[in-house]
């Protein structure tokens, strides 16, 4: 796979096997691969995995359906965690909440969901939909709304397709819930964020209800199979004493940007986000600075952005190839930064307006991997 590929990977890629279900045995690889595409955000893969394991152990494997195999009239209901992942490490949501968010929204709308879907790829947000699908006995769509993780909820390809984020349900572990109707998806983000903060920065949301036909267009295809492929590639490389970093870079169609040691991390959890930057020093290449807001959004060398959002900036533990979330970055950590292309739709003018560097306050045009 080359950098001209339109996605980090593709179900049509010979190296990738589309799965027809998620079993207990797939979950470690799924969690790892999801954290890779989570680009530092999307929550702790360990917590997501534990919750998914609990649900799959209890309810059995979750059938996967490719977006292009969905009946056009399917009722697809996405579900996700919203909040600062830094908080979730200390405050794991109750498993039952995940399915509740879906049923609360379905009851409000008077609909019967036929499929569950992922809003984003990430340690928690690729796994919580597995939890909901298992609990509700529904198949899961093999795709997601972003092809990676992004920090705000309007940042899905569905927004570019004119699909409304609301009606949306949001709930916390105490039992507080809300149903939101907003005039646009940015207002949906603002209102849900305000509530998620009030809910202790850890809430479950269900939103972007769409038909099978809409899901086929608005979702990135094959994300969950892709996550398992990435996760398995790391396992295999380690088993064969090969380089797990190269295995990840190959699986995501990316390139290695930088290898070094974390010498500084500054971060603060503010208005519901974990914002900050990390400095990674290499004896050969000098300093690379990563800027993040839940996800890694820009990699700078000196004054020059090497890669920016929407492309993927992935931080891996140099020895193990394990993805490192922004909140797990620590002084002294030896890491490798891999960059990979985002879904091509993010590089359209509408996509750049929604998730380009200027939206996040970085005064630069987008810089694509390999450019």
For residue 28, give the nearest of 174, 306, 230 by alpha carbon. Answer: 230
Residue 90 preceded by cis peptide, ω within 30: no
Judged by beta carbon, residue 62 or residue 106, the one nearer its own copies is 106
Identify any residues that bridge with 260 across adjacent strands, giving them in sequence order: 335
Q: Taking a C-beta distance cutoff of 8 angstroms, is the pair 117, 219 a contact? A: yes
d(CA 60, CA 70): 21
Judged by beta carbon, residue 180 or residue 355, the one nearer its own copies is 180
Q: Taking a C-beta distance cutoff of 8 angstroms, is the pair 25, 228 a contact? A: no
* Side-chain half-sphere CA neighbours of 339 within 13 A: 23
What is the residue whose two structure tokens read 């590089």?
A: 347
For residue 254, give the nearest of 86, 120, 137, 368 by alpha carbon. Answer: 368
Size of the site for its own copies (CB under 8 A): 20
Instruction: Please state the closest distance from residue 188 (CB atom) to its own copies, in A.
Output: 8
DSSP 329: -
Q: Which of 1, 121, 156, 180 binds its own copies (CB under 8 A)?
A: 180
Q: Which of 47, 195, 224, 237 binds its own copies (CB under 8 A)?
A: 195
Judged by beta carbon, residue 169 or residue 336, the one nearer its own copies is 169
Positive or negative torsion for Cα 187, 185, 75, 135: negative
Site string for its own copies, 197-236 (x = CB under 8 A): xxx-------------------------------------
Contact status: 110 vs its own copies (CB under 8 A): no
Q: Which of 175, 283, 332, 349 binds its own copies (CB under 8 A)?
A: 175
Q: Which of 12, 54, 176, 348 binds its own copies (CB under 8 A)?
A: 176
Judged by beta carbon, residue 77 or residue 197, the one nearer its own copies is 197
d(CA 150, CA 156): 8
Judged by beta carbon, residue 50 or residue 190, the one nearer its own copies is 190
Judged by beta carbon, residue 184 or residue 319, the one nearer its own copies is 184
Contact status: 190 vs its own copies (CB under 8 A): yes
Judged by beta carbon, residue 111 or residue 194, the one nearer its own copies is 194
Which window, 18-26, 188-196, 299-307, 343-351, contacts its own copies (CB under 8 A)?
A: 188-196
- How many of the other CB atoms lie within 10 Å of CB of 72? 10
Q: Taking a C-beta distance cutoff of 8 angstroms, is the pair 27, 50 a contact? A: no
Judged by beta carbon, residue 187 or residue 213, the one nearer its own copies is 187
Contact status: 111 vs its own copies (CB under 8 A): no
Instruction: Please state the closest distance from residue 181 (CB atom) to its own copies, in A.
Output: 5
d(CA 333, CA 264): 10
Q: Which of 39, 126, 177, 326 binds its own copies (CB under 8 A)?
A: 177
d(CA 174, CA 192): 17
The residue ranges that bind its own copies (CB under 8 A) are: 108, 174-183, 187, 190-191, 193-195, 197-199
């Amino acid at each position: 796979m080359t950098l001209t590929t339109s996605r980090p990977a593709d179900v049509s890629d010979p190296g990738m096997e589309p799965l027809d279900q998620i079993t207990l045995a797939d979950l470690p690889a799924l969690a790892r691969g999801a954290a890779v595409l989570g680009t530092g955000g999307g929550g702790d893969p360990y917590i997501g995995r534990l919750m998914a394991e609990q649900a799959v152990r209890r309810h059995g494997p979750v059938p996967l359906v490719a977006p292009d195999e969905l009946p056009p009239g399917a009722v697809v209901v996405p579900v996700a965690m919203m909040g600062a992942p830094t908080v979730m490490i200390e405050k794991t949501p109750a498993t039952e909440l995940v399915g509740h968010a879906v049923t609360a929204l379905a009851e409000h709308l008077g609909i019967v969901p036929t499929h569950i879907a992922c809003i984003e790829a990430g340690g928690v947000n690729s796994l919580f939909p597995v939890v909901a699908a298992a609990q509700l006995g529904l198949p899961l769509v093999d795709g997601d709304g972003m092809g990676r993780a992004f920090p705000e909820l309007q940042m899905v390809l569905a927004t570019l397709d004119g699909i409304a984020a609301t009606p949306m349900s949001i709930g916390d572990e105490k039992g507080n819930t809300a149903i939101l109707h907003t005039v646009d998806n940015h207002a949906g983000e603002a209102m849900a964020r305000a509530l998620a903060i009030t809910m202790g920065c850890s809430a479950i949301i269900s939103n972007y209800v769409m038909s099978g036909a809409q899901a086929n267009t608005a979702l990135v295809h094959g994300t969950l199979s892709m996550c398992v492929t990435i996760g398995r590639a790391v396992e295999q490389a380690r088993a064969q004493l090969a380089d797990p970093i190269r295995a990840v870079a190959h699986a995501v169609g990316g390139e290695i940007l930088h290898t070094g040691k974390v010498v500084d991390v500054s971060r603060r959890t503010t208005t519901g986000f974990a914002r900050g930057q990390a400095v990674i020093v290499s004896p050969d290449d000098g300093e690379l600075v990563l800027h993040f807001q839940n996800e890694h959004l820009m990699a700078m060398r000196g004054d020059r952005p090497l890669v920016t959002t929407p492309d993927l900036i992935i931080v891996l533990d140099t020895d193990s190839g394990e993805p490192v979330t922004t909140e797990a970055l620590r002084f002294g950590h030896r890491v490798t930064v891999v960059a990979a292309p985002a879904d091509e739709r993010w590089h359209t003018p509408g996509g750049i307006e929604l998730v380009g560097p200027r939206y996040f306050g970085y005064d630069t045009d987008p810089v694509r991997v390999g450019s």
